[in-house]
Amino acid sequence: MEFKHISVLLDECLEGLNIKEDGIYVDCTLGGAGHSKEIIKRLSNKGRLIGIDQDKDALKAAGEKLKDYNNATLVHSNFENIKDVVENLGLEGVDGILIDLGVSSYQLDTAERGFSYMQDAPLDMRMNRELEFSAYDVVNGYSEDDLYKIIRDYGEEKFAKRIASFIVKAREEGEIKTTLELVDIIKAAIPAKARREGPHPAKRTFQAIRIEVNRELSIISKTIKDGVEKLNKGGRMAIITFHSLEDRIVKTTYKELTNPCTCPREFPICVCNNEPIVKIITRKPIEASKEELEENPRSRSAKLRVLEKL
């Protein structure tokens, strides 16, 4: 299957990054290189693009799309390693960092990857297929309490307790091996009235398991801080989120960097002398336009937040 992915909030990202033609830019979630292709078009030969992705399918597709550019460097890694990636390339700093936290259309639509609750496939959901830990291990190995917590916290699923209980009960009959086996268990756990309303009944649980498998939330804050450390003065970071859990972490971490004071609240004045590291460019997150929503419905929950290094 061809690696296709419609770049979300493309123009808004390009504007937010405030691209300089001789600058160095890091696309931490390269995907199909939709954002990267437009970034590198705006660079001179003195500029440089660094693309990071943990999915080798993405790197292969991106390499093909960027083959005419000699100032692109593609790296197989998780974006949590941004600091090491930049340093290993011998760079002191970069001028812009883009992170798109969405799952690519390719990953969702390629049945064998096991991300989709609409197609039957082995339980997988690994963005980096070289890692051993997968959705199979979560579904078949986690305790009922741990399953409940991740489905509740990462999926914000109100029937999390019933779903966890039904999964554990189903495991007594044998291993749960495929996506549609899991979907049937989830459907059985959710009352009929609730199944008829709202999104697909398995959507939240699949999101929760995917987040757990790929450690999607636990690495965001550190990545932001490490990335900001590597930004040159005036450099910008743009992050696209797709659900409230991600957005809350990004918003909170941005706020910490704008107000890093560690003094107790009761202190009348600041004595730690920690000064703001960044300024926020987007006071409110940027969302998709009506035109983009019509072209790409998957952009409906996207939010873009931008900061600038002081």
pTM across the whole model = 0.91
Q: Centre a 10 Å sphere on the Cβ of residue 272 and count the other Cβ atoms it contains.
A: 11
Question: Residue 289: its pLDDT value, please?
Answer: 95
**Which residues, 6+ apart, have CB-to-CB distance to 28 below 8 Å?**
52, 79, 82, 97, 98, 99, 100, 223, 227
φ/ψ of residue 241, rounded to 5: -115, 160
Question: Residue 50: its pLDDT value, please?
Answer: 98
Question: Residue 125: its pLDDT value, please?
Answer: 96
Question: Residue 6: its pLDDT value, please?
Answer: 73
- Contact indicator for 68, 41 with CB cutoff of 8 Å: no
Question: Residue 297: its pLDDT value, please?
Answer: 86
Question: Residue 3: its pLDDT value, please?
Answer: 56
Question: Residue 104: its pLDDT value, please?
Answer: 76
The tens place of each residue's pLDDT in the chain, 310 residues long, gives 455 567 899 999 999 999 999 999 999 999 989 999 999 999 999 999 999 999 998 999 999 999 999 999 999 999 999 999 999 999 999 999 999 998 877 777 788 999 999 999 999 999 999 999 999 999 999 999 999 999 999 999 999 999 999 999 999 999 999 999 999 999 999 999 888 888 899 999 999 999 999 999 999 999 999 999 999 999 999 999 999 999 999 999 999 999 878 888 888 888 888 889 999 999 999 999 999 999 988 889 999 999 999 9
Question: Residue 272: its pLDDT value, please?
Answer: 83
Question: Residue 298: its pLDDT value, please?
Answer: 82
* CA–centroid distance for 35 within its chain: 14
Question: Residue 82: its pLDDT value, please?
Answer: 98
Distances (CA, A) of 253 to 38, 223, 235, 256: 28, 10, 17, 5
State the residue for tokens 């061809």.
2
Question: Residue 271: its pLDDT value, please?
Answer: 84
- Contact indicator for 107, 115 with CB cutoff of 8 Å: yes
Burial of 261 (C-beta count, 10 Å sphere; 0-12/13-18/19+): middle
Question: Residue 167: its pLDDT value, please?
Answer: 98
Question: Residue 102: its pLDDT value, please?
Answer: 87
Which of 55, 21, 53, 52 lies closest to 39, judged by CA?
21
